[in-house]
Amino acid sequence: MPAPSAPTAPGPEAGPTATGRLELRDVVKVFSNRGKDVHAVHGVSLDIAPGEFVTLLGPSGCGKTTTLRMIAGFEDATSGRVVLDGRNMVSLPPNKRPMSMVFQSYALFPHLSVRENIAYGLKLRRTGPEEIREQVEVALTSMNLNSLADRAPNELSGGQQQRVALARAMVTRPKVLLFDEPLSNLDAKLRVRMRLEIRRLQQRMGITSIYVTHDQAEAMTMSDRIVVMNAGRIEQVATPEEIYRRPASVFVADFIGRANFLAATARDVDGGRCSARVLGATIQAPCHEGVSSGSGATVIVRPESVRLSPSTGEGAGGAGGSELVGAHGRVLSSVFYGDHVEYEVETEAGTILCVESDPEPASVHAEGDDVMIGIEASRAWVLPEETADGE
């Protein structure tokens, strides 16, 4: 179920004089392909507060990069408005918009040194030589690039080049900072370090930032809010925790992390909760506002909310009835990752995925074991069946 057309930004607000409030109003992009119109973006509306870090997240072809390029001015919007601090940017070319972009490919000038690359945008703005020198020195220090200031880009590692690109974008103090999958060319450990550096700098400088990625971990760890996109439309806009715990659709639940999807019928809907019978027993769980009594529903259970116990034991029930023992199952696979074990369990309702963190060695179940399945009902989430079907 899509989010409201223009979600209100609850993010950081620097006060009534803050700049960098960005509004997208029914933005549409239509490409012509062999005489046929292809809608890449369908009426996207979004409010972004000054200083907020918002990530556009979704699979390839969902429209996230096209949306970012329309904000930057590299793509013309077919219709709609891109409003920055009350001014419509649609008619302005990229160089007239108070924005900077950090690209996936770094886009550094090979014939310029690190210092000259960082100073480039300031020179275009005809900033005075002394001010350029001061601002470049601050940027070099903040990005730990002082010892590399006179090197050429081809003498730097990928992580160092990305820090130069980030410094070049930030040194001009743009109202909006745009990121187009900037870490995708880096190795896994460096990506983790760089996303922390980017977030730290963004928070310190208070620059409104829009970040495009298909990497869930980047979106979850860096964002004030995440915009999940699918087929050119917004599926949901919410905080990382809400996206994970209370997804607006099965698409969102399936795209963000992993989940078990159990078919059920909702009963006794009241106050944002309902009962549903799954795995042979009835649970009381929080539910989506679209769920109604007697209607079909999909119960979403994250793997870490599933508990297994030996089928001959006392069961997986938790204190206060927070967990449910409902069904027998047989372990299809048991994979040890060091800090956790992942299980696939065969049940009458299908295969259930379970993740157990830091297990005791003696409690690890082996393939072929018969087990009882428990669910933390308070951490389950019930969606209406039509949401699951994408209607």
- Please say whether the beta carbons of 142 and 167 come within 8 A: yes
pLDDT of residue 247: 96
| Residue pointed to by tokens 């971990």 | 217
> Rounded to whole angstroms, how far apart are CA atoms 270 and 122?
59
Select from 250, 274, 303 the last residue of a domain. 250
Q: For residues 63 and 25, is the Cβ–Cβ distance under 8 A?
A: no
- 137: in domain: no
pLDDT tens-digit profile of 320-377?
Answer: 344 555 688 999 999 999 889 999 999 988 999 999 998 888 889 999 999 999 888 8
- Final residue of a structural domain among 199, 223, 250: 250
The helix/strand/coil state of 18 is: coil
Assigned domain for 121 exists: no
pLDDT in tens, 191-226: 888 888 889 888 988 999 999 999 999 999 999 999
Strand partners, 270: 273
Range of the domain at 85: 22-98+174-250
CB atoms within 10 A of CB 10: 13
What pLDDT is recorded for position 182? 87
- Sites in the chain below the pLDDT cut of 50: 1-5, 10-17, 314-322, 387-391
Is the domain of 279 the same as that of 312?
yes
Residue 341 within a domain: yes
User: Which of these three, 195, 219, 250, is where a domain ends?
Assistant: 250
* CATH number assigned to the domain comprising residue 239: 3.40.50.300
**Phi, psi (rounded to 5 degrees) for 43:** 50, 50
Do 192 and 325 share a domain, yes or no?
no
pTM: 0.86
